[in-house]
């Protein structure tokens, strides 16, 4: 079976994650409960005429995918696989609003056409003239992991040699307001919004697009090898450690073999014990890292985590801003990522240098 290597990465997020080395310009925002994207110069990648009609998520996806392809030195890929939780939610909102404003008459279909979840993958394929396998996964908080798993299987089975995968989500004003009402986002005017020391429910929200070029051969600029991905729908807090141990065992690894653990702390006090128990017990001797204070919580935030982990393996450095504890290792070889959303959709991703 062929191995799967990450050969290129591109990330547009709520931090400046392009045109920099690695998070040296990152800032933690304690004042906002919804973080906005740091936009790239779109006209460098998309013609202004086309850009005007595109939703934010589509533009970010196109730029992130272009950055990943450039990073991997590839012009063409065999397949494009995206994961998204809410798809192009802004266009969905626009269309629904125009239905109400116009009494269901005289509607322009543009927003409706562009509101589907697979718009991002389709636009990237059109720009690249890629006529291969093109698939979008909409599986809540494991949308990106589903795309990663599919890509890994494509490469292992020799169905594809290079696959572009990514996770994209955007914030829409109306949806954000609903998330605040339902308690999914922290209440307004309750700053500071600290992710690690939070005592309130709800998360600090964000948006972003992270893309990766996966290939079946190792190159000079390879970031990491994707060893394994596992997705479990429901787990109790006391079952996580056993689940991780059996996941590692299936890859002939033990907890002591993990050089860094990346956890999805998002500030929602009701579900932080899933992470805290691991950090304080089984992995107390391991460097523990977090990322949602930088990226915000969204369905495909775990793609940002994979971008971060791949960068750590390549640079062999861990920025202070993402450390949960002060444990350090002389060399970083194997990293485990664990994420869940509100106690469901648990995902485990294992990558190695």
Query: What pLDDT does residue 7 have?
Result: 95
- Tell me the pLDDT band of 206, cut-offs 50, 70 and 90: very high
Of 215, 244, 267, which residue is a domain's last? 215
Residue 243 sits in the same domain as residue 301: yes
Closest of 275, 268, 274 to residue 296, by C-alpha: 268
Indicate whether 220 belongs to any domain.
no
Indicate whether 222 belongs to any domain.
no
- Tell me the pLDDT band of 10, cut-offs 50, 70 and 90: very high
Taking every pair of C-alpha atoms in the chain, what is the biggest distance, in angstroms? 65
Q: What is the pTM of this model?
A: 0.94
* CATH number of the domain to which 271 belongs: 3.40.47.10
Residue 171 sits in the same domain as residue 266: no
Residue 51 sits in the same domain as residue 184: yes
Q: Which two tokens stand for residue 281?
A: 């017990």
Query: What pLDDT does residue 149 have?
Result: 95
Q: Which residues pair with 321 in a beta bridge?
A: none
Residue 234 sits in the same domain as residue 110: no
Whether the pLDDT of residue 150 is over 90: the answer is yes
Closest of 48, 68, 42, 61 to residue 126, by C-alpha: 61
Dump pLDDT digits (tens) for 222-259: 999 999 999 999 988 888 999 999 999 999 999 889 99
Whether the pLDDT of residue 23 is over 90: the answer is no
Query: What pLDDT does residue 62 have?
Result: 94
**Separation CA 137–CA 85 (nearest Å):** 8
Phi/psi at 173 (5° precision): -60, -45
Query: What pLDDT does residue 279 have?
Result: 87
Query: What pLDDT does residue 282 have?
Result: 85
Query: What pLDDT does residue 312 have?
Result: 93
Residue 183 sits in the same domain as residue 49: yes
What is the 3-state secondary structure of the chain? CCCCEEEEEEEECCCCCCCCCCCCCCCCCCCCCECCCCCCCHHHCCCHHHHHCCCHHHHHHHHHHHHHHHHHCCCCCCEEEEECCCCCHHHHHHHHHHHHHCCCCCCCCHHHHCCCCCHHHHHHHHHHCCCCEEEEECCHHHHHHHHHHHHHHHHHCCCCCEEEEEEEECCCHHHHHHHHHCCCECCCCCCCCCCCCCCCCCECECCEEEEEEEECCCCCCCCEEEEEEEEEEECCHHHHHHHHHHHHHCCCCCHHHCCEEEECCCCCCCCCHHHHHHHHCCCCCCCEEECHHHHCECCCHHHHHHHHHHHHHHHCCCCHHHECCCCCCCCCCEEEEEEEECCEEEEEEEEEC
Mean pLDDT of the chain: 90
- Tell me the pLDDT band of 147, cut-offs 50, 70 and 90: very high
**C-alpha triplet 317, 12, 198: angle, nearest 5°:** 70
Whether the pLDDT of residue 190 is over 90: the answer is no
- Displacement of CA 257 from its chain's centroid (Å): 24
- Tell me the pLDDT band of 9, cut-offs 50, 70 and 90: very high
Residue 33 sits in the same domain as residue 90: yes
Dump pLDDT digits (tens) for 36-50: 999 899 989 988 888
Query: What pLDDT does residue 209 have?
Result: 95
**Separation CA 316–CA 205 (nearest Å):** 29
**Separation CA 294–CA 311 (nearest Å):** 15
Q: Which two tokens stand for residue 37?
A: 């994207």
Residue 78 sits in the same domain as residue 184: yes
Residue 167 sits in the same domain as residue 296: no
Query: What pLDDT does residue 50 have?
Result: 85
Dump pLDDT digits (tens) for 86-136: 988 888 888 888 889 888 888 888 888 888 888 899 999 998 898 999 999
Residue 186, domain extent? 5-215
**Mean pLDDT, residues 71-78:** 92
Dump pLDDT digits (tens) for 255-311: 889 999 999 999 888 888 889 888 888 888 899 999 999 999 999 999 999 999 999
7-16, 99-108, 154-163, 341-350: range with lowest mean pLDDT: 99-108
Residue 76 sits in the same domain as residue 103: yes
- Tell me the pLDDT band of 25, cut-offs 50, 70 and 90: confident
């Amino acid at each position: 079976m062929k191995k799967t290597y990450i050969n290129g990465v591109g990330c547009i997020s709520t931090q400046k994650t392009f045109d920099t080395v690695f998070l040296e310009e990152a800032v933690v925002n304690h004042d906002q409960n919804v973080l906005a994207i740091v936009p790239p110069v779109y006209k460098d990648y998309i013609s202004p005429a086309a850009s005007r009609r595109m939703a934010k998520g589509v533009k970010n996806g196109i730029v992130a995918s272009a950055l990943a392809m450039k990073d991997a030195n590839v012009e063409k890929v065999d397949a494009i696989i995206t994961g998204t939780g809410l798809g192009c939610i802004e266009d969905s909102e626009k269309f629904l609003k125009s239905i109400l404003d116009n009494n269901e008459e005289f509607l322009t279909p543009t927003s409706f056409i562009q509101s589907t979840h697979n718009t991002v993958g389709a636009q990237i394929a059109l720009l690249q003239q890629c006529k291969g396998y093109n698939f979008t996964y909409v599986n809540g908080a494991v949308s990106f992991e589903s795309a990663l798993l599919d890509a890994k299987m494509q490469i292992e089975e020799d169905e594809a040699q290079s696959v572009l995968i990514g996770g994209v989500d955007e914030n829409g004003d109306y949806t954000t307001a609903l998330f605040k009402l339902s308690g999914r986002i922290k209440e307004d005017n309750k700053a500071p919004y600290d992710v690690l020391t939070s005592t309130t429910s709800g998360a600090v929200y964000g948006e972003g697009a992270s893309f990766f070029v996966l290939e079946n051969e190792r190159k000079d600029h390879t970031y990491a090898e994707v060893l394994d991905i596992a997705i479990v729908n429901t787990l109790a807090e006391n079952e996580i450690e056993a689940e991780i141990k059996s996941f590692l065992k299936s890859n002939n690894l033990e907890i002591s073999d993990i050089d860094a653990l990346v956890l999805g702390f998002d500030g929602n006090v009701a579900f932080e014990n899933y992470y805290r128990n691991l950090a304080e017990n089984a992995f107390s001797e391991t460097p523990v890292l977090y990322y949602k204070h930088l990226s915000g919580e969204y369905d495909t935030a775990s793609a940002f985590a994979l971008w971060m982990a791949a960068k750590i393996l390549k640079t062999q450095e861990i920025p202070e801003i993402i450390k949960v504890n002060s444990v350090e290792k002389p060399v970083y070889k194997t990293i485990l990522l664990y994420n869940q959303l509100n106690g469901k959709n648990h995902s485990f991703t294992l990558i190695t240098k």
